[in-house]
Amino acid sequence: MQKIALAGAMLAVAALAPPTAANESVLKESAKPEQWVLQTGDYANTRYSKLDQINRDNVKDLKVAWTFSTGVLRGHEGSPLVIGDIMYVHTPFPNIVYALDLNNEGRILWKYEPKQDPSVIGVMCCDTVYRGLAYADGMLFLHQADTTLVALDAKTGEVKWQVVNGDPKKGETNTATVLPVKDKVIVGISGAEYGVRGHITAYNAKTGELVWRAYSVGPDEEILFDPEKTMSLGKPVGKDSSLKTWNGDQWKLGGGTTWGWFSYDPETNLIYYGTGNPGTWNPVQRAGPDGKPIDHKWTMSIIARDADTGVAKWAYQMTPFDEWDYDGVNEMILVDIPVNGQMRKALVHFDRNGIAYTLDRVTGELLVAEKYDPVVNWTTGVVMDKNDPRYGRPVVVPEKSTFLNGEDVDTKNICPAALGTKDQQPAAFSPRTGLFYVPTNHVCMNYEPYRVSYTAGQPYVGATVSMFPAPGSHGGMGNFIAWDAGEGKIVWSKPERFSVWSGALATAGGIVFYGTLEGYLKAVDEKDGTELFKFKTPSGIIGNVMTYSHNGKQYVAVLSGVGGWAGIGLAAGLTNPTEGLGAVGGYAGLRDYTALGGTLTVFTLP
C-alpha cells in the first residue's frame, strides 16, 4: 500500500438527540452546511442541503469551476466528501482515495491506492462500483472491493487500522459505503448472486475490532432476533422466524446481502437498512418441502437494529419468496411527516419492487404502501387491512409469477425489471416542500428461470433476463419524480430517455439536482419539475450530486463515469443482450450517447 417560513414548515428531518447519543463528530460536522461528511448528507439519509446561494433564479448561470480526472474508468457511484478545506474523492476498483486541497486549485495532498487482487473483479456482480467514503473523528473509512475495511488519517492518508470483512473466494465483495455510529463503523456485504449469506457488522472505530455481526438469515442467535421482543407488523416474530421459512439448509446459501445504504436515528438508537434477494434467482429451487412458496425470512426486508448490540427491534419483509430479484437494499429516509393527518416519526423507502413504503420508524407499523410507477404489474398492491391474515403482504398477479409458470417458461412483460423501479441511486427529501425526489427506472423484463448448482465463488443466479422500456408509455426508460409519502402519490413526474441512475440532491435554494445516464447534470424546480439547467459532463452520470461551500461560495459537484448495472455493457465491454443480468440488451442504446470516463465536475456561479 502507498500514500501518494414555508409550506413545509411543520416538516422536519429526524430530530437529533444530544451528541452523546451518536458519533459526536458526525453530528457536529454534518450540521455545517458548507461540508458533506456522509454519502447521504446526514444520518437520516435526506440528501438535503441548507445552502441557498444557488437558487431557482440563478441556477441557469452555473458554470464549470474546475474538473478532476480520477484516472479510473468503469462506473463512478457515490460522491466526494468535503471536510474543512479538503475534498476527498474515491474511485471504483481499485478504490483509490484522493485528498484535494480546495485552497490550492485542488492540489493532491495525498493519494491512497490499495493493492487488491484483481481477481475480485470477476466476482463483482454488476460492475466494480464503490459508493464512497465516510468521515468521523478525523478518519476516513474506506470499504474496499475485496472487503478490506480501512481507517485512514484524514489529514495524512496514513493507515490507522484495517480488517477483512469477507472472502472474495466465496463471492463476498463490497460496493457499499459505511456508516460511523457512536464508537462503531457499520458495514455490509455484497454477493447474493454467489450464494453469499448476508450480514451487517459493527467494528470498533478506533481499533477495527469486531463488536457484533448480524446475519440476515439463519438461527436466532446469528440473526440477533429476540423471539419475544423483535416485532414484525406489531407482533413478536417468534422462535426460529428465519429458519422455519427455509427448506432444510438452503438458508446457508440464502443471500439477503446488505450492499445498500444505512441510516441511523440517535433518538431511538436504531440503525435501519434493507436486505437483498434470496439465493438463487430460480424460485422453484427454493420452494418449501411441499413444493409451495415459502417466505425466506429475512431476505427482502427492512430491519431496525440497536446500534450498541445489533439486536433487531423490528423487521418487515416487503417481498416474501422473491421471484424477481427485487432487492430491498435501497435507502431508508428518516423524516417526521404527516400521515393520515397525524405527524409520524416516519421511515420512507422506495423499494426495487416498485412500491414506496412509509413506516413508523419507532415501531415498524406499516402506514403507506403504494406503487410509485403506474406500470408496476407483478402485484395488485399490498394488503393494508390489519384484520386480514395477509396484512402487509403484496398480492401477486399469477401471470407475472416466475414460480407458478414453472422452471422452463419465459414469463413475459414483468414490470419492473429486476433492477427495480429504483435501484441503489438515493432519493432526496426537502423539508421545504415535504416531498421526496426520486430517480427511477421505467423498465420491464422477461424472466426465465433455470436450474443451477452451487459452487463457491461461482455465479448462483439461475435465471435469464431481458430488459426493455415499459411498453405503452413515453418510450423512455426513466422518470424523475416528486413523491408525497404521507399520501402515497406522485406529485409530478419528468420523463427521461434512460433510467435516472444518479442520486438526487435537494437544496434550500428551491432546486433539485440529478444526473442522467447520457451524462447531463440537471437542475429542476422543486415545486413542479421545470428544468432550469443542464450541462453534459464527459461521461454518463451514476454518481450522486453533492454541494458544499468554500470561502463563502457555493459549489455543486458530481462524479461522471458510466457503468453500474444499467451501464455494465459499456463498462465491461459486454454485447450479449442477456449479459449483465439482462441489462446489456436493455441499455444497448446508451453507447450512442456516452462513453467510459472518470471525471469529477464542479460547478459554481460566475
**Active site positions, annotated:** 325
SS3 of 220-285: the string is HHHHCECCCCCEECCEECCCCCCHHHCCCCHHHHCECCCCCCCEEECCCCEEEEECCCCCCCCHHH
Taking Cα atoms as reference points, which of 156, 140, 159 lies closest to residue 39?
Answer: 140
Strand 63-69 vs strand 599-604: parallel, antiparallel, or unpaired? antiparallel
Distance CA 353, CA 359 (A): 16
Contact 50, 586 (CB under 8 A): no
Q: Which three cell numbers stand for residue 511?
A: 432546486
Taking Cα atoms as reference points, which of 219, 215, 236 lies closest to residue 227?
Answer: 236
Secondary structure (3-state) at 569: helix
Helices then strands (H, E): number in the chain?
4, 41
Cα distances from 546 to residues 64, 161, 333, in angstroms, run 15, 28, 17
Contact 159, 151 (CB under 8 A): yes
Contact 265, 273 (CB under 8 A): no
Distance CA 161, CA 184 (A): 14
Q: Which three cell numbers stand for residue 428?
A: 432526496
Cα-based angle 229, 347, 279 (whole degrees, multiple of 5):
70
Secondary structure (3-state) at 582: coil
Taking Cα atoms as reference points, which of 181, 220, 218, 231 lies closest to residue 201?
Answer: 181
Contact 501, 439 (CB under 8 A): yes
Helices (H), 498-603: 568-572, 583-586
Contact 485, 355 (CB under 8 A): no
Q: For the CA atoms of 429, 435, 436, 442, what is the dihedral angle to 10 degrees?
A: -160
